[in-house]
Structures are given as structure tokens and as C-alpha cells.
């Protein structure tokens, strides 16, 4: 009920943020109940982008579902593909060539940097700081060139295949990739100085939207948002896949205890620095590997044996999981997607009540979500 005139002070007001709003990263709607400038109740309303990917999986064969899988989080396309092919390979009991394992690890980390750069630029923008996004897009463009050269795609790479990767590396690609990683690292100080060193940014984010570890566990929050609340969990370290088991000396899991907007940004920035270090380590190992195959030869009709499996990966935004059920056909009987943003955004129910409307955008932006990853 909306109060009018003298009764407004004692009457709740219902306010809709979105579904079309600059701070919602897409068509997300927030239904807020306000008491003056303070939020009493918050309800995320989702589903405006829902395309039924899980149902579409059931009508596509194991080669075709890769195309559907890489689109729900459009900033993490390579990582999305990875979960599907890992699940199918596990069902088949398939061993992937070593070069493909290291290449997948490298590309997953480069994709992580691309994802994080978007939020490192867009989050300050939502708080009124325009400059960082120009730097972020400059860096993203250089990295996009590297990814585009190897895969042919700028956002939806379609480079993973069951059994490995689409094709081998172009001549000289590793040198160009290393040069790009080195250049990116040399300019990452911009975010330390320009953003974290900005007193207005710190004033808008420190102590705002603190998420308790208990809420992280209750809602299944994962990724940098969970680690910013002191939940020290990262699949790359705790349940290694690909080549992460051999990269434990380089892998650093960035955590904070405060759980506020500033801590979430610091975790994201720290994870970006570490992803560049992991990319360098992968390039070093690829340089030492002898020439060899990049994929396995597959039958013309690929069928997974009857059974079920669950493959989860540490995506840039958190845990991404695929539960695959097969009846021995060339299409999945069921393929359930557990996306990071879907769980993370539920924490808004806990975070927003009691805060000011002015802090709502700061809290919303600090959850680093993609609406397609919520709606699937």
C-alpha cells in the first residue's frame, strides 16, 4: 500500500526495481517493501529470461548440448562448456590427452579473468565511478583477441569437445597469449589504486551488506561472494579437476572475513591476479609438453552408457554443476544445471532488509551475477 500525504510516515510502500533497471544486470525484478528510506522486505522475482535450457538438453545430442550450455552465463562461456564435457567423459570413462587438459585449464583461467574484468569495471560504475570501466574494457578487448584467435568466437567459444578440444593451437599463439597476460598484469594496479584507493568507493562499500557465513551455507552461496564471508572453499583446491592438482603451489584462494561489499570486491580482484598467475603456469607447462593429440577420436554417434553422474566446476561466479542421467541413448535423459548466480541471488532476502535504498544498488552489484545464469 502506498501512503499519501500525512499518513505516509506510518505506511509501507512497495517499490519495484526492474525488471528493466541499470543495476539489475538484465531483466531481474526486486520487489521491495519500504518504511521511508529503509528496506523492510525484499523479494527477487526471476524468470523473465527463462528459456528452458534443461528441457532443451533432452532433445539434443552430446555434441549439440555444448552450444546450449555455454550461454547461460554469457561471461563464462568456456567454463560452462567444461562442466558438460567433463560429465560426459566421466560417464564414458574417457581419458583426455594431457595437452588438452592443460589447454582447458589455461582457457578456463583466461575466461575467469575476462569475467572478473567486467565486474571490476561495472561495479564502480554502478556507484558513480565511470573511469574504471574504460580500463576494464580495454583489457578485456586484448584478452578477447587471444580467445577469438584460438576459438573463432568472442563470447560463445564452442571450443570444448567431448574428449578434448576442437583443434590444436595456432602457430605462435602461446607467445601472444603470454604477452597479453604480462601486459594485463602490469596494468592491474589501476584497480588497486583507482578503485580500492578511492575513499568514496570505500565509504559506499565498507560495512555495507555484510553476509554471515551461516547465510552462505543456508543459501548455497559460492564463489568469491562466499569466500568474502570467510567460507574458505574452492573446488580447484578442495576437489581438483583438470590440471589444478599440479598447480597447488600457484593457486591461492583469496578470502576475507568481513563479508561486506568491499570484501567481495577485494576477493574478486585478488582472484583475478591469481588467475593471471595460473595462466602463466599453464603456458610454462604447455611449452614443456611434447607435440601430441588435442582430442580423442569419437564414434559417429556418441552414446553415454546408462547411469548418472554429477560434475561440478569452480566457475568464475561460483560452483557450476551438471547432474547427468543417461538411459544409454545419444541424448541425455536428464541434465540438471546448478548455476552459481541462481543460489547467490537468493541471499538478497537476507542482505537487503534493514538497509537503505541508497545502499541497495551497492549490495546488488556486489553479488556479481548474470541474469541468464539465474533464469537458465
In a domain, 6, yes or no: no
Higher per-residue confidence, 231 vs 21: 231
pLDDT of residue 18: 76
Instruction: Provide the pLDDT confidence category of residue 10 given band limits of 50, 70 and 90.
Output: low
* Average pLDDT of span 300-324: 94
pLDDT at 1 > cutoff 80: no
In a domain, 4, yes or no: no
User: Average pLDDT of the chain?
Assistant: 90
- 3-state SS class at 336: strand
* Average pLDDT of span 17-32: 79
Sign of the C-alpha dihedral computed for residues 185, 272, 69 and 18 taken in this order: negative
In 63-166, beta strands by DSSP E: 160-161, 164-165
Distances (CA, A) of 198 to 139, 262, 270: 21, 12, 17
pLDDT at 2 > cutoff 70: no
C-alpha cell at 257: 572475513
The DSSP H or E segment spanning 54 is: helix 53-57
Residues in the chain, overall count:
376
Q: What is the pLDDT of residues 53-64, one digit of tens each?
A: 899 999 999 989
In a domain, 3, yes or no: no
pLDDT at 4 > cutoff 80: no
pLDDT of residue 348: 92
pLDDT of residue 3: 44
In a domain, 347, yes or no: yes
User: Angle at the Cα of 149 (from 147 to 154), degrees rounded to 5?
Assistant: 50
In a domain, 120, yes or no: yes
Q: What is the pLDDT of residues 98-143, one digit of tens each?
A: 999 999 999 999 999 999 999 999 999 988 889 999 999 999 999 9
| Residue 247 lies in domain | 13-374
pLDDT of residue 143: 94
- 3-state SS class at 29: strand
Into how many domains does the chain fold? 1
Task: Please give the Cα distance from 32 to 206 (Å, whole number).
Answer: 23
Instruction: Provide the pLDDT confidence category of residue 5 given band limits of 50, 70 and 90.
Output: very low
C-alpha cell at 123: 561495479
The CATH number for 32's domain is 1.10.645.10
Amino acid at each position: 500500500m502506498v501512503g499519501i500525504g500525512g499518513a505516509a510516515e506510518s505506511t509501507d510502500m512497495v517499490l519495484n526495481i526492474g525488471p528493466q533497471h541499470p543495476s539489475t544486470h538484465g531483466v531481474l525484478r526486486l520487489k521491495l517493501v519500504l518504511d521511508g528510506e529503509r528496506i523492510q522486505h525484499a523479494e527477487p522475482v526471476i524468470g523473465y529470461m527463462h528459456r528452458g535450457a534443461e528441457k532443451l538438453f533432452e532433445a539434443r545430442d552430446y555434441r549439440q548440448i555444448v552450444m546450449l550450455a555455454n550461454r547461460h552465463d554469457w561471461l563464462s562461456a568456456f567454463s560452462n562448456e567444461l562442466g558438460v564435457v567433463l560429465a560426459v567423459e566421466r560417464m564414458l570413462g574417457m581419458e583426455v590427452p594431457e595437452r588438452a587438459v592443460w589447454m582447458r585449464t589455461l582457457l578456463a583461467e583466461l575466461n575467469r579473468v575476462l569475467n572478473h574484468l567486467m565486474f571490476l569495471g561495472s561495479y564502480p560504475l554502478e556507484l558513480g565511478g565511470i573511469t574504471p570501466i574504460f580500463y576494464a574494457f580495454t583489457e578485456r578487448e586484448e584478452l578477447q583477441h587471444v580467445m577469438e584467435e584460438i576459438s573463432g568466437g568472442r563470447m560463445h567459444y564452442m571450443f570444448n569437445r567431448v574428449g578434448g578440444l576442437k583443434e590444436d593451437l595456432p602457430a605462435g599463439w602461446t607467445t601472444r597469449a603470454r604477452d597479453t597476460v604480462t601486459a594485463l598484469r602490469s596494468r592491474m594496479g589501476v584497480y588497486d589504486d583507482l578503485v580500492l584507493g578511492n575513499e568514496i568507493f570505500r565509504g559506499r562499500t565498507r560495512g555495507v551488506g555484510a553476509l554471515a557465513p551461516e547465510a552462505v551455507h543456508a543459501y548455497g552461496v559460492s564463489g568469491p561472494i562466499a569466500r568474502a564471508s570467510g567460507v574458505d572453499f574452492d573446488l580447484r583446491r578442495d576437489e581438483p579437476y583438470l590440471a589444478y592438482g599440479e598447480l597447488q603451489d600457484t593457486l591461492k584462494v583469496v578470502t576475507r572475513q568481513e563479508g561486506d561489499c568491499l570484501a567481495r570486491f577485494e576477493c574478486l580482484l585478488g582472484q583475478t591476479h591469481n588467475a593471471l598467475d595460473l595462466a602463466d603456469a599453464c603456458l610454462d607447462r604447455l611449452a614443456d609438453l611434447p607435440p601430441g593429440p588435442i582430442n580423442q577420436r569419437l564414434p559417429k554417434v556418441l552414446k553415454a552408457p546408462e547411469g548418472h553422474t554429477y560434475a561440478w566446476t569452480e566457475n568464475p561466479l561460483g560452483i557450476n554443476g551438471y547432474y547427468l542421467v543417461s538411459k544409454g541413448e545419444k541424448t541425455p535423459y536428464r541434465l540438471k544445471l546448478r548455476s552459481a548466480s541462481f543460489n547467490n541471488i537468493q541471499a538478497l532476502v537476507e542482505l537487503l532488509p534493514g538497509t537503505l535504498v541508497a545502499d541497495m544498488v551497492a549490495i546488488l552489484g556486489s553479488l556479481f551475477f548474470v541474469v541468464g545464469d539465474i533464469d537458465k
